[in-house]
Amino acid sequence: MLVIQKQSHKTTNWSGGTTTELFIYPRESEYQKRNFLFRVSTATIEIKESQFTKLDEVNRKIMILDGKIELIHEGRYSKNLDKFDTDTFSGEWNTRSIGKATDFNLMTKGNVNGHMLHLGFETENTKTVNFNVKTQKALFYIYSGKLQICDKTVESGDVIFLETLSNNKSIDVKAVTKSDIIVVELAGF
């Protein structure tokens, strides 16, 4: 298990706001070289209308963390996204958004595929996260609050990465304070 604290994340600018890389796999991968199998990030959309970067051979999943947007996949479909709503699309599509928001992004390549979901917790609440039988790796992004996961205390902005789930297909998560987390399950390695 790997814990990545908020202060070690890299934030850079893009044409519509900022993006913060939370995790990239393999760890020595570089986003600019597109040599990753998966990448998890957050981004702020700070302008009314923005164009998404085209990413060949990349599958994308997006979840709104704050705000709301209309996602427009030119020639395909449009979708309104509010807090914790998701959409899945090809990085090769011409995609733009209308509205301001903060989002959570999962990018996968090759045979790797992923699923993400939001879990909300009240103070002192415990939930069991049951992983799909095909899940090989998992990641927890602490969006807000403070929790205990696998005997580690983590706070807003932190990430926990589980490289191998082997026999452990469920994990108990206990909130220390009111919290929101995003759980990412990954397979296809």
pTM as predicted: 0.95
Q: Check residue 168 and give its pLDDT.
A: 67
In a domain, 177, yes or no: yes
Q: Check residue 150 and give its pLDDT.
A: 86
Shared-domain flag, residues 161 and 134? yes
Domain boundary among 77, 109, 141: 109
Shared-domain flag, residues 43 and 95? yes
At a CB cut-off of 8 Å and minimum separation 6, what does 77 contact?
none
Q: Check residue 14 and give its pLDDT.
A: 85
Shared-domain flag, residues 99 and 117? no
CA atoms of 133 and 178, how far apart (whole Å): 29
CA atoms of 167 and 118, how far apart (whole Å): 24
Shared-domain flag, residues 104 and 124? no
Q: Please say whether the beta carbons of 9 and 20 come within 8 A.
A: yes
CATH of the domain at 27: 2.60.120.10
Shared-domain flag, residues 23 and 105? yes
Reply yes or no on whether the pLDDT at 31 is more than 80: yes
- 85 alpha-carbon distance from chain centroid: 12
Reply yes or no on whether the pLDDT at 130 is more than 70: yes
State the Cα angle at 11 between 88 and 60, rounded to 5°. Answer: 10
Domain that holds residue 149: 113-187
- Region 56-66: what's the mean pLDDT? 98
Q: Check residue 186 and give its pLDDT.
A: 97
Shared-domain flag, residues 19 and 79? yes
Domain boundary among 56, 88, 109: 109
pLDDT tens digit sequence for 142-177: 999 999 998 899 999 999 999 988 666 899 999 999
Q: Check residue 123 and give its pLDDT.
A: 95
Reply yes or no on whether the pLDDT at 179 is more than 80: yes
Reply yes or no on whether the pLDDT at 62 is more than 70: yes
Please report, for residues 5, 40, 75, 141, 158, the alpha-carbon distance to residue 22 in angstroms, rounded to integers and kept in the order given. Answer: 9, 6, 31, 8, 8
Confidence band of 133 (pLDDT split at 50, 70, 90): confident
Domain boundary among 109, 144, 164: 109
Q: Report the percentage of the chain scoring pLDDT > 90.
A: 92
- Region 79-91: what's the mean pLDDT? 98
Which of 4-18, 68-82, 165-179 reaches the highest mean pLDDT? 68-82
Residue given tokens 């309104």 in the structure block = 80
Q: Check residue 165 and give its pLDDT.
A: 81
